[in-house]
Chain A
């Protein structure tokens, strides 16, 4: 398979990488090792670690950081930005619609079953329109590149996409270690993100809030693998980081327990999943939630970001219809394309997929984090056969996509520098405005030939640059 390399074209260095190329070529090996060690020490000191569920081992594991940045030029980024914002608008329009009159279903553009029988569809919020009609306030859109102008959306994350702290810290660390690079290259900043996030949250304060809104970040707690990110964002926004036990409902409002008694909370940026939000409304055994929260939410006493039920827009079955949403709600042609997707509950698709398993990537509809997926070309016959049985048992739980020729960027490896596959997750903010900082999180598959970039599967991260003009 041929892969598009973002730095080299034939023997030539592409324009955006011109200056970096010199930097790499003139870097002595021992200097590189020293800097790599320095980067690791910095990450560990700051305390950015990532615990992988179910793996045991070191709870303070670091996500590998690759010092070689990934670069976009301004024109490339502009197009991506337009595409991402367009997609974000369509996704929110869809959510507004399916919790209201569901015109898109009535028009026969999306099957009713996929919406109403979706696990993430929350009947509890039907008819509740959140402030400004925004359901998903932070949308992480995973993109892959296969050619100069060929970008595809791999999936949408409308609930609580994680990783933005890495985007910010990667940049911090690069600026600290290689200031000269930032003088030589004109790189768009990303550090306004927390400020934009706070503005976004404040812009969706509930109707009953009359003062300047009090926002909080709600975390499942410090044992959560993304806890660092939760505290990081709360800190940079200057808001409280709360756990369920810190909040309680009294009458029409939600309060937090403070040293001076109860204090009202207006906007909750939650980093816990819907089922855990309110034991009275969802899972009764949830220890993380706040009893009565949903009643307050429904009556306009508090805003929850993302809104409960937002997950219905980002599951892999709905994904195939996002281009349709763009046309239906916005009357535009999608700027970013989907990856062709076979849905296994369709007879023809099922037949095709089962005959071509060794070539395809098969994913669970509700899976995430790189778990429960099959990468056909990278799997043994036994693995494929085992997966085939799982599909046969429950075909509608799966979708399949062609194995994409993910682009590569140069990455520091043991022997020097070598191409590794990457993806990109920009973070789009939706409130009174739609905002996007120039850049995102680039994840890199560090193992040679691997196409799986998830940190739970041995992926690393890179700083992502957008060059200004």
Chain B
């Protein structure tokens, strides 16, 4: 029976199998293609709107992926995720705004501040509410989110209230900085900010993927699937839940710093509001919970829809110039998000990536069957 001790564990076997197909998986090519598109995008397509949508897709893909870590991998529904995103955005805005003129190190100070603040708050929130029941956490997080929103809205001396904070980025990231052209596209502050965000969000995303595939991520999935059993196996599930919550929140707050960098302006509704939270939730659901990569698709879907849905109103005016109800209906595009929400939850619960993975797995099974 000595042989048995030498045999790899199922986890090791799975890892080995994954390592073998590391460079031949089709998914890798899709990822590289996506990355190439994002790198080449602003050079080939120098329209501001396209660049804006691409940047927001990148940032929100990270936010949605970090939310997926909490929701899809740990099974906790938090409604305060965007609050951490907002805390990140506000830390950059307030650091640069209140210090008078901006310096390059402000970005790093803001990042440190965002990580510290959101880490502490996430731990506090989790300690207060994760002890009892998962659903308690949902309610507490909603109350917490509303509280931070009110703080941002009312604490005028610090946050400028609902008018929001606009600020200038330091050095090469400043909108006014420019220096010639690169590959035919103007090399300016916007372009450099874009690439900074690209690098940062790719790093954050890889960090999330590594986290999910780590031994800790494995425990998280077991907590999601059967908490009692993982407790019985000797894991302190509460600690793991807090850890995942804190890690996800910290990543979201870093994404918030990036978002503030891109807009150069923050206000409570754009980074702390409930509609943003719903958007992120919808991104995760559309992409598929517990897939991480789904959040990229979800973010792309929502951002593209948000950029072009307001045009629906013009279409309605054009097609039905006399029916006023149609105009009003077209104006309320959140309504369609609500309908989409319900339809996806009922008919498409695994989301785009989840469903695609199911189909691929089934096909593989069918291909494998005749050999047996």
- Tell me, yes or no, whether A binds B: no
